[in-house]
Amino acid sequence: MEHVYLTRPSERLKDQYLAYYQEWIKSGEPFIPQAITKDPSDFQEMLKLFTNEEKGIGLRAGWVSSSTFLLIGEDERMIGAVHIRHKLTEDLLNSGGHIGYGIRPSERRKGFATKLLELALIEAKSLGISKVLVVCDEDNRASAKTISNNNGLQIEDFIEEDGNVIQRFWIDTFERTLNP
């Protein structure tokens, strides 16, 4: 697998971010993580929103501080994104978790999701989160495998009002370090 790294969204990555965003639109799939649903047409405003979310400024009722990172590969190509919530509310404990992540449709099935989650766990540790909750829909076998590949310990499922089953996994971050 090519070398990849996480970084915060920045003006330097605007063209890559816009290409990523357009690929999601063309795919017709829901945006994952939810953080990338922000309209990037005013890119500077979107960057400001990400910064404010990290600082806990202007959050919507019931929302928590969070950090957004981009997975960048060779030639500064944006491969994925991850959203790390700094703490959990009851709703997040049931069906949202600390971490939401997504790989652009054209880059799936190449091992990037496992690497993205691995790097996100290191970031979560640096944010002071020692135990991370990661969730996925029961029918999302690829995501469940990604979480298991990162030592996710499955706990009791949560069933949403519409009957959707959310699988929930805890992952300790205490041994997470960045390997060169």
Q: Specify the higher pLDDT residue, 179 or 126.
A: 126
- Please tell me what DSSP assigns to residue 154: E
Condensed to tens digits (0 to 9), the pLDDT of residues 23-45 reads 999 998 888 887 788 889 999 99
**How many beta carbons lie within 10 A of that of residue 163, not counting itself?**
6
Predicted TM-score (pTM) of the model is 0.92
> Quick one: pLDDT at residue 180?
44
Condensed to tens digits (0 to 9), the pLDDT of residues 158-175 reads 999 999 999 999 999 977
Which domains are assigned to the chain? 5-130 (3.40.630.30)
* pLDDT confidence bin for 1, thresholds 50/70/90: low
- In the sheet with 78-85, reading across from the earlier edge strand, the strands are 5-7, 66-72, 78-85, 99-103, 131-137, 165-172, 153-159
Which region holds residue 159: left if phi is over 0, alpha if psi is between -120 and 50, else beta? beta
What integer best gives the mean pLDDT of the chain?
92
Whether the Cβ atoms of residue 35 and residue 68 lie closer than 8 Å to each other: yes
